[in-house]
Homo-oligomer: A and B are copies of this chain.
Amino acid sequence: MAKFDLVKFGPFRLNRLAAEVSAALSSEYQARYGLDIPEWRVIATLGFRNDACSAQYIAHCTRTHKSTISRAVTALMTRDLIERVENADDRREFRLRLTRQGHALYEELIPRLLRKEREILSCLSAQERKDFAGLLGKIEASLELVQTSKAASETEAY
């Protein structure tokens, strides 16, 4: 019989861990600010790059389906957390950016999330945290989840 234990199976562990970590963080953006995950991703992307960008770009770099992003954008606009302006160069797309309130929420939320992350990783030493990030990076790279410098330049239009 094949020796196999689901509970020791890497992919399963990864899923379970990701779900658990998400749940831990959602108490911040969900319960506290009424944002769901896609909405949080939009806010985070816009907050990080402080210039405006398209919905497509957000979908791309967060690996979230464009319809999901579209719905999140609609919800955030009705709450006046983001705004969009037409792009004169290409009237199919909109430039999205945080409103003043959206930016305030972003600035308030980020430290909380970083603190949570630190809490979760506090079981590791500084060196271990570094190693973990490095190993994650290697796996991501081999799955082409992160843009190599070459790929990044090819897609820099985003």
Q: Which partner residue on chain B sits nearest A147 by CB separation?
A: B7
The secondary-structure label for the interface of chain A is helix
Find out whether the CB atom of A139 lies under 8 angstroms from the CB atom of B117: no
Give the size range of A's interface with the partner. 35 or more
Q: Is A75 an interface residue (CB 8 A)?
A: no
Find out whether the CB atom of B124 lies under 8 angstroms from the CB atom of A135: yes
Minimum distance in angstroms from A93 CB to a CB of chain B: 21
The complex places the Cα of A4 from the Cα of B111 at a distance, in Å, of 9
Find out whether the CB atom of B139 lies under 8 angstroms from the CB atom of A4: no
Find out whether the CB atom of A132 lies under 8 angstroms from the CB atom of B135: yes
Q: Which partner residue on chain B sits nearest A134 by CB separation?
A: B128
Q: Is A107 an interface residue (CB 8 A)?
A: yes
| In the complex, per-residue mask of A119-134: 1 if CB is within 8 Å of any chain B CB, else 0 | 0111110001001110
| In the complex, per-residue mask of A15-45: 1 if CB is within 8 Å of any chain B CB, else 0 | 1111111101100000000000000010011
Q: Which partner residue on chain B sits nearest A41 by CB separation?
A: B6
The complex places the Cα of A136 from the Cα of B124 at a distance, in Å, of 10
Find out whether the CB atom of A143 lies under 8 angstroms from the CB atom of B120: yes
Q: Which residues of A contact B (CB under 8 A)?
A: 1-2, 4-7, 9-22, 24-25, 41, 44-45, 47-48, 50, 61-63, 106-107, 110-111, 113-114, 117, 120-124, 128, 131-133, 135-136, 138-143, 145-146
Q: A-B pairs with the 7 shortest C-beta distances?
A: A123-B142, A18-B18, A6-B44, A2-B110, A14-B18, A132-B135, A15-B18
